[in-house]
Copies of this chain bind each other. A is one copy, B any other.
């Protein structure tokens, strides 16, 4: 995902009068900062919540505690709940979420590189599992790339419908 791609994404959202907000765990703010790197992003990007701990996911994003106690924080349902929360908390058209294991240690019995990303929007919420390789930085950057690529596809599709 080059800055040119992100610029095109922001322009597409602006043309649809759509907005976006984020709820990030392992990426720690990288998704939102990739979006606001583009001049004029403030027309489209509302903000985000970085929920790095389970408590922050519960308290600030309203992820149901029993979801986390049952499945852990690195889970497709948790990612979907986070994306919905981003959309709801910021009143944005779309909500984007990330949760996963950046390493170097595994977590919740899930191997390093296990990542779930989710997109919430007017036509519903979807969540994708990714199994990424590389070091901590690579995994976080790949997560941003994968999520924004999925988001571009989704926005393009919805802009045509």
Q: Which of A's residues lie within 8 Å of B, judged by CB?
A: 22, 24, 26-33, 35-37, 39, 41-42, 45-53, 55-56, 60, 89-90, 102-105, 136-137, 140
Contact = CB atoms under 8 A, between A and B. Distances in A.
Contacts of A56: 46-47, 90
A65 to B, nearest CB: 16
A61 to B, nearest CB: 10
Q: Assembly of this chain: how many copies?
A: 2
A41 B138 CA distance: 16
Contacts of A29: 22, 24, 28-33, 36, 48, 50
A55 B89 CA distance: 11
Contacts of A32: 28-29, 50, 52
Contacts of A31: 29
Q: Which of A31, A48, A89: most chain B CB closer than 10 A?
A: A48
Given A24-B29, A39-B103, A136-B39, A52 B60 contact: no
A33 B22 contact: no
Nearest to A37: B137
Given A22-B50, A46-B52, A60-B90, 8 more contacts: A28-B33, A28-B45, A36-B102, A41-B52, A45-B52, A46-B56, A49-B49, A50-B50
